[in-house]
Amino acid sequence: MANLSLRNVHKIYAGNVMAVKDFNLEIEDREFIVLVGPSGCGKSTTLRMIAGLEDISQGEIYIGDRLVNDVAPKDRDIAMVFQNYALYPHMTVYDNMAFGLKLRKVPKDEIDKKVKEAAEILDIGHLLDRKPRALSGGQRQRVALGRAIVREPKVFLMDEPLSNLDAKLRVQMRAEISKLHHRLNTTFIYVTHDQTEAMTMGTRIVVMKDGIIQQADTPKKLYDMP
Ligand code: ADP
Ligand code: ADP
């Protein structure tokens, strides 16, 4: 069984906007899927349906072997990283990373261990006492990643996580996220409109246009690389 399956998934918004049409994809453990395509092609909507932030109009989504159509976002065994980081401004880095686990009533010593492990992986161990406003853009993005990985979800969802960073930092964080993927050995779904990002990060690239999958293949085959 695939780690994540989308079967005949459709999304029709009010006003009869067909944002996603008959989306079919079987995603295995450890794949790094990049959804790529022009603005408005349905990438975010697809990601948000996987996250449960958007109802699906038709079709089924499975995470592991569980049909999640009617499962709340917090119970889906996923974590999502946004482009605007969505950190809690009044909380320290530590508390930002710990918050999701606290909500789930994870014991404190276990939370502590997970937060410190994640902080080490992301090289933010020295920033745990700071508030988000005292961090650089790259550091904030690391905290957002840290907050996701402490939950050890089955699937990581990322919606243009690097689009607010400058070009140099973007290249750095790309490498960082690829490293994280290798280290965690879990499924990543990454949305971008940036071809270079798709090519350098994806193990499989899904090209969308007008709500439809146009192509889905390895970067090598898609871009005819040697
Ligand atoms: P992308 O992420 O590729 O830029 P989106 O998934 O955001 O594309 O949008 C796909 C289509 O759905 C677009 O035509 C967009 O205008 C439309 N859309 C997105 N969100 C809504 C909404 N809440 N209500 C109505 N239409 C929407
Ligand atoms: P609560 O407010 O829920 O009681 P605390 O913020 O006091 O939780 O933290 C509980 C535990 O988390 C502390 O005992 C400590 O081990 C750890 N902790 C909290 N903040 C930090 C930090 N900035 N750096 C390292 N460990 C921290």
Close Cβ partners of 179 (under 8 Å, ≥ 6 residues apart): none
Neighbours of 125 (CB within 10 A): 14
Is the per-residue pLDDT at 123 higher than 70?
A: yes
What pLDDT score was predicted for residue 82?
82
CA distance 44 to 211: 10
Residue 223 has pLDDT above 90, yes or no: no
Taking the centre of ligand 2 as the mean of its atom positions, its distance from the CA of residue 193, in whole angstroms, is 39
In ligand 1, which atom is closest to the CA atom of 42?
Answer: 6
Q: Any idea which residue has 């140099």 for tokens? A: 168
**pLDDT of residue 224 exceeding 80:** no
Its pTM stands at 0.87
- For ligand 2, atom 5, the nearest C-alpha belongs to 95
Q: Considering every ligand atom shown, identify the ligand nearest to the alpha carbon of residue 20 and give its number.
A: 1
Mean pLDDT, the chain, rounded, equals 94
ipTM over 0.85? The verdict is no
Better pLDDT: 70 or 86: 70
Let me know: does 31 contact 184? Beta carbons within 8 Å: no
Pair of tokens at residue 196: 């270079």
Asked whether 164 lines ligand 2 (CB < 6 A), one says: no
